[in-house]
Amino acid sequence: MLTSESNVQVATLDEMVTTLEEVATVDGRVARRQRNRIAVLDAVVVLFEAGNTEPAVDEVSDISGVSSRSIYRYFHHRDELVRAAMWHLMARIEPQMELADIGEGSLDDRIDRFVKHRLAVFAVLAPITRAARKVAQSLDLGSEEFEAGRLLFRQQFLDHFAPEFATLEGQALTQAVVAAELAFQFDSFEYLSMSFDGNVDEMGYLLVRQLRILLVVLR
Amino acid sequence: MTSELMMPESVEIRTDGRIDRRLRNRDAVLEATIQMFAEGEVMPAIEDVAERVSVSLRSVYRYFATREELIRAALERWLLEETPHLVPPPPIDGDLADRVEYFCAQRLALYFRFAPLARVALVLDGTDPMVREIFEYGRESLRQQFAAQFDTELELLGHRDWAIVTTAATLPLQFHLFEYMHVGCGFDAAQMHDLIVEQLHLHLSAL
């Protein structure tokens, strides 16, 4: 049931993109409007990535070349703008969220690739997640924007390490999966990044070591 | 100079009763807000607080201009009251299993005591300097408590491994992961206890 929910999210995203493309070819004015919208969202993402968690409409306007008045017409308030920017970024990075060759190779090889992948995803998602959290209470980590990503990641994790988890069931399985996923939560990356002054090699070393300790025991 | 200082005092003496009541009411409002925090309310409405202490809404707004001001004032008072309990107890002697058990039980008790407060702080503003300082203090004291309690196991490690092991072993005991287990995954105290005890054993026995 959880998996099907995440599929619904992905489908909606695809639909949105398709609809945008269809609409763009129909009417020049609508096309311009869509171009402007995308320029605005790109600008918000750029500002977030630069560490600006509270971009002013003027700044968004400067970068996107879209007038403040139009920005207000497209997005009624900040919350809406930030949500739209999150969806926009997620759609853009969707290919990067996928883990190649799931479940293939030796345990060490799978652990290595998994850790590298998650570190890369974190690097892309961190700026916007920090910004989004700052903007609104309604965008907490239980919100659907995050929930979709979380479910996708859990499924990926389970598939990638299916041989190791195969021997477990029920409460033991839940406990093992939750334990192994602790280090891969967004805030854990923040904590590790802080602990190692942003040194990605050390973060990777710790995560590989951590997964190996946990997964080898299961065998 | 002396007479200037005397003036306000004499004024105060005359209005003493009113000021007293005012302070008492303000106090009651703050205590009620803290009570609501403790009950799990993260952002109590001023109307609800006023109703609880039977003080008029107008009075509450006279003490606190906005809801945020009230919540911040209550949070600061709560922190002052609770801070002494943040100081970890000294390490105990015993074999590894005993020490792991003691350490985990203590950290879990700390989590349940501080979770409502931490949630209010994070919702109010996770980037606020005061809030950051408290979390920073919490992380640092966890690290120190861990280092002191498992000194025997850690002492042979080089600088790099020491940092890696300390960071990895204290990771599951971070506030956000307790929240993840308890709120996100619905684990109760016993399940959380089992999980962190097992994690700590894995980390320490891998040395």
User: How would residue A143 be classed by pLDDT, with cut points 50, 70 and 90?
Assistant: low
A206 in contact with B, Cβ within 8 Å: yes
Contact B172 A191 (CB under 8 A): no
Of A133, A142, A185, the CB nearest to B177: A185
Long-range contacts from A136-145, C-beta under 8 angstroms, 24+ separation: A136/A78, A136/A79, A136/A82, A137/B43, A137/B123, A138/A79, A139/A79, A139/A82, A139/A83, A139/A86, A141/A186, A141/B184, A142/B184, A144/A9, A145/A83, A145/A86, A145/A87, A145/A90
Per-residue model confidence as pLDDT tens digits over B52-68: 998 899 989 999 999 88
Q: Which of residues 159-178 of A touch B (CB under 8 A)?
A: 174-175, 178
Contact B116, B38 (CB under 8 A): yes
User: How would residue A131 be classed by pLDDT, with cut points 50, 70 and 90?
Assistant: confident
Contact B32, B49 (CB under 8 A): yes
Contact B164 A175 (CB under 8 A): no
Q: Which residues contact A205 (CB under 8 A, 6 or more apart)?
A: B164
Closest approach of chain B CAs to the CA of A23, in angstroms?
40
Top residue of A186, A191, A194 to mutate, by most chain B CBs within 10 Å, is A191
ipTM value: 0.79
Give the whole-number percent of chain B exceeding pLDDT 70. 91
Contact B171 A187 (CB under 8 A): no
Distance (Å, whole) CA A202 – CA A197? 9
Dihedral of CA B122/A192/B167/B160: which sign?
negative
Using only C-alpha atoms, chain A has a radius of gyration, in whole angstroms, of 20
Distance (Å, whole) CA A115 – CA A96? 14
Distance (Å, whole) CA A1 – CA A159? 16
Per-residue pLDDT at B22: 77
More confident residue, A26 or B149: B149
Closest approach of chain A CAs to the CA of B199, in angstroms?
8
Q: Which residues contact A181 (CB under 8 A, 6 or more apart)?
A: A154, A157
Contact B181 A191 (CB under 8 A): no
Range list of H helices, B87-128: 96-125
Per-residue pLDDT at A39: 93
Per-residue pLDDT at A1: 33
Distance (Å, whole) CA A204 – CA A117? 10
User: How would residue A93 be classed by pLDDT, with cut points 50, 70 and 90?
Assistant: confident
- Return the residue of A nearest to B43 by Cα: A137
Per-residue pLDDT at B117: 87
Per-residue model confidence as pLDDT tens digits over B105-135: 999 999 999 999 888 888 876 667 878 888 8
A209 in contact with B, Cβ within 8 Å: yes
Distance (Å, whole) CA B58 – CA B207? 63
Asked whether the predicted pLDDT for residue A4 surpasses 60, the reply is no
Structure tokens at A156: 């990926």
More confident residue, A211 or A127: A211
Distance (Å, whole) CA B38 – CA B22? 24
Contact A115, A204 (CB under 8 A): yes
Contact A178 B167 (CB under 8 A): no
Give the whole-number percent of chain B exceeding pLDDT 90. 56
> What DSSP designation does B89 have?
P
Top residue of B42, B202, B205, B207 to mutate, by most chain A CBs within 10 Å, is B202
A136 in contact with B, Cβ within 8 Å: no
Nearest CA to A185 among A141, A138, A144?
A141
Average pLDDT score over chain B: 87
Q: Which of residues 124-143 of B touch A (CB under 8 A)?
A: 126-127, 139
Contact A187 B194 (CB under 8 A): no
Per-residue model confidence as pLDDT tens digits over A30-63: 788 888 999 999 998 888 888 787 788 899 999 9
Distance (Å, whole) CA A158 – CA A177? 8
Per-residue pLDDT at A77: 79
Contact A187 B123 (CB under 8 A): no
Per-residue pLDDT at A79: 74
